[in-house]
Amino acid sequence: MDKTHRGSKSRPFPATTLFKQEPQKSERMQVTYRIPALIYISDNQTFLAFAEKRKTADDTDADVLVMKKGIWKDGGVEVSLATLTFIGRHSHELLTSACQPNHRSMNPCPVYERESKTLFLFFITVPVGISEHKQIHKNKNQARLCYITSQDIGKTWSDITDLTADVIGEQEKDWATFAVGPGHGVQTKSGRLIIPAYVYPCNSLNCKPISRAFTFYSTSKGSTWHLGKCVDGESNECQMAEIIDDKGNSKLYCNARSISGHRVEALSESNGEAFDKPSSAHKLTETGHGCQGSVLSFAPDQATEKTWLLYCHPTNPRKRACLGVYLNKTPWDASGWEDHKLIIYDGPSGYSDLAQCGDGKHFACLMECGEISEEIAFICKK
């Protein structure tokens, strides 16, 4: 661990590799897995771990989404290799439902609708060879907002739904590009479904787009979706969580990547339709040029709804390394993050996603790691 990590407590946990780089005959083509997303469905105590399968590590070489299933058993987790499903390769149905012709699927973002027991897997598709930088440079969005659903916890999936025209509509002409998550979405206690997202808005050929976080949300169990208003100021890849005080009042909390050197936080009193003025979380330092992070709310006492927050992100201020977990017992307070953080992986690490699981006292993390972040691994601990 970096000696500059004062206030850190190192306690690396055993990690189980779920997706690992696959050397190919060609030195340039190294099948790589990136961009983890994790969801735990308590109905049948099942984890679903998602990632992008890429032809190389480059964003423009993303190809299809992959999924692996794990089962919580007797206080532990069994990850079955037999349940490894490559979306878009091993099943013709998944090939046609999770992909669009001549597009690559990116940024998995799952959310579970409790009443209808429907699993939504949101993602974007982008034309092959078109980078985010190229879209921003030309101020012309080419990303599509898509999802597939499953009624049987990932055994089978629906056909693809492309929401771009219906939800974004005419606003798309003012967007340079956008993406969801990556990482899990949220269903609030009121039943609203929240998909975190960010956009590079630009309504002038002379402007330089600056990314801003926002939500896609549904008040109808996922049958219709709407577009929330952007957070004021610069913010990027984000995750969100519902925070509840000791009186049962709730707000939606947003934690976003930023180029400012610290994470950006914002609260919404309208369940994601709009956000209050954002603030810079000075206790949550960004890493290098920034990195995605994960946030999760949980009730430490099952007798009350009051929630705390967990946040996971590389703790090294210069490079993506030493993945740590931070705790905030007073999430309505911008300065509530504790000074001490727990290092759960003492080595190269990047994007991550958190989930509460099992008996409610255990937490799982799906993370990019390895010598050069060439694999995605799973950790589950109390």
Neighbour-count burial for 241-253, b at 16+ CB within 10 Å, e otherwise? bbbbeeeeebbbb
Residue/partner pairs of 143-148 with CB below 8 Å, 24 or more apart: 143/177, 143/178, 143/179, 144/100, 144/103, 145/178, 145/180, 145/216, 146/100, 146/105, 146/122, 147/120, 147/121, 147/122, 147/123, 148/97, 148/98, 148/120, 148/121
From 40, 200, 311, 351, active-site residue: 351
At residue 157, the 3 state secondary structure works out as coil
Q: How many helices (H) and strands (E) would you count in the chain? A: 2, 27
59 is known as an active-site residue:
yes
From 2, 59, 174, 245, active-site residue: 59
170 is known as an active-site residue:
no
245 is known as an active-site residue:
no
From 61, 368, 374, 375, active-site residue: 368
Q: What's the full length of the chain, in residues?
A: 382
Chain center to CA of 155:
22
> So which residues are the catalytic ones?
59, 351, 368
